[in-house]
């Protein structure tokens, strides 16, 4: 693996599968381990978080290391200090940096100047740890990945980008449906589609949620308004009308489909209560798997497993 995990585009198909395999093993045997004994991890967060923050803190603890949470008030990345100075300074203290930032370009700059591994804990373009946990969850449910179809209905955002890449690299078909103006980033889509083609699967984009969901094994949704887009809330809620996941829409899916959402969710907007809290929903398995897969990422980057 590379020094950092910024985007899954930087990982080979085999590396993605190895991370998920390691996560499965860690889940089966959840004990305190000494792998990161004596190591400290800085968690630089510019945005709020429940799952990412808690699962990384607990994960580092369970691997024998120590984590430091540095919220927006503490580090004020690029404002109180340049990203360069933050990267160089932290690298003298800690053995790894987990970062949640607004701009992808800030993530790249942090990784470029840090002398220790940087893990992307969400930026405006990618959310790789989420996608790894999601694909782990899908494999747990179906016992396989190859040839399954995931339908994503909503915003072509950070969560979609990473999920599309991860599915492509593990041999899953992806169908995206969203309103005009909210398509995925074309450059990322192109690269994800190239990865999919290598595995003889496809990523398609359209406007029709029914067509996307038809026969799908996984139905996925995320919020319509991501962190940092709060000012666009009214406009987005209007634009995403018709892209709600509800009982009517999921009728078209495979009979064994599962519903997934990275959380936090807005019940009654992107998904109805009956679906997200229904028997097909796997939202808390996804949330749990963040812990296992991020422990796997830490082991691979910091201990050189499978490097
Ligand atoms: N899914 C996810 O990343 O959740 P948090 O924003 O709570 O970390
Ligand atoms: N797309 C969402 C994901 C939150 C985990 C956001 O960026 O806010």
CA distance 198 to 70: 40
Hey, whose CA ends up nearest to atom 4 of ligand 1?
51
What stretches in the chain show pLDDT beneath 70?
Answer: 305-307
The residue length of the chain stands at 307
| Cα 296 to Cα 60: distance, rounded to the nearest angstrom | 11
pLDDT tens string 128-166: 999 999 999 999 999 999 999 999 999 999 999 999 999
Cβ neighbour number for residue 269 with a 10 Å cutoff = 18
How far apart are the C-alpha atoms of 60 and 95, rounded to whole Å? Answer: 12
Mutate to test the pocket of ligand 2, among 101, 262, 290 (most ligand atoms within 8 A of CB): 262
Q: What is the DSSP letter of 229?
A: -
Half-sphere exposure of 37 (CA within 13 A, CB side): 4
The whole-angstrom separation of Cα 157 and Cα 261 is 13
Q: Is the pTM higher than 0.95?
A: yes
- Give the number of the atom of ligand 1 that is nearest the alpha carbon of residue 227: 6
100 a catalytic residue = yes
**130 in ligand 1 pocket by Cβ < 6 Å?**
yes
What is residue 304's predicted lDDT score, i.e. its pLDDT?
Answer: 76
Residue 49 dihedral angles phi and psi, to the nearest 5°: -165, 145
Tell me the per-residue pLDDT of 184-199, one tens digit each, with 9 for 90 and over. Answer: 999 999 999 999 999 9
What confidence score (pLDDT) does residue 305 get? 60
CB 173 within 8 A of CB 146: no
The string of DSSP letters for 69-112 reads EE-HHHH-BTTTB-HHHHHHHHHHH-SEEEEE-S-HHHHHHHHH
286 is catalytic: no
Nearest residue (CA) to ligand 2, atom 6: 226
Residue with tokens 């996925």: 220
163: part of which helix (H) or strand (E)? helix 158-169
């Amino acid at each position: 693996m590379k020094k950092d995990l910024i985007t899954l585009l930087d990982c080979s198909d085999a590396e993605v599968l190895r991370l998920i395999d390691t996560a499965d093993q860690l889940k089966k045997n959840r004990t305190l381990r000494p792998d990161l004994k004596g190591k400290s991890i800085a968690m630089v967060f510019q945005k709020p978080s429940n799952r990412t923050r808690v699962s990384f803190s607990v994960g580092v603890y369970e691997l024998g290391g120590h984590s430091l949470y540095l919220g927006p008030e503490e580090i004020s990345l690029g404002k109180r200090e340049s990203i360069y100075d933050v990267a160089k300074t932290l690298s003298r203290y800690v053995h790894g940096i987990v970062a949640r930032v607004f701009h992808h370009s800030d993530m790249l700059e942090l990784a470029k100047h840090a002398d220790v591994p940087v893990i992307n804990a969400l930026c405006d373009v990618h959310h790789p740890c989420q996608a790894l946990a999601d694909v782990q969850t899908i494999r747990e449910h179906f016992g396989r990945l190859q040839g399954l179809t995931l339908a994503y209905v909503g915003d072509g955002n950070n969560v979609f980008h990473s999920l599309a890449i991860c599915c492509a690299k593990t041999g899953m078909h992806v169908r995206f449906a969203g309103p005009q103006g909210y398509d995925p980033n074309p450059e990322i889509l192109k690269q994800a589609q190239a990865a999919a083609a290598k595995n003889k699967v496809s990523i398609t984009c359209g406007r029709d949620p029914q067509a996307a969901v038809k026969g799908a094994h996984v139905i996925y949704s995320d919020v319509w308004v991501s962190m940092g887009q709060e000012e666009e809330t009214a406009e987005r809620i209007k634009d995403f009308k018709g892209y709600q996941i509800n009982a009517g829409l999921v009728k078209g899916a495979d009979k064994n489909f599962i519903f997934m959402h990275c959380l936090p969710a807005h019940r009654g907007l992107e998904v109805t209560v009956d679906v997200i809290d229904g028997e097909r929903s796997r939202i808390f398995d996804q949330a749990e798997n963040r812990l296992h897969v991020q422990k796997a990422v830490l082991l691979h980057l910091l201990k050189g497993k499978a490097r």
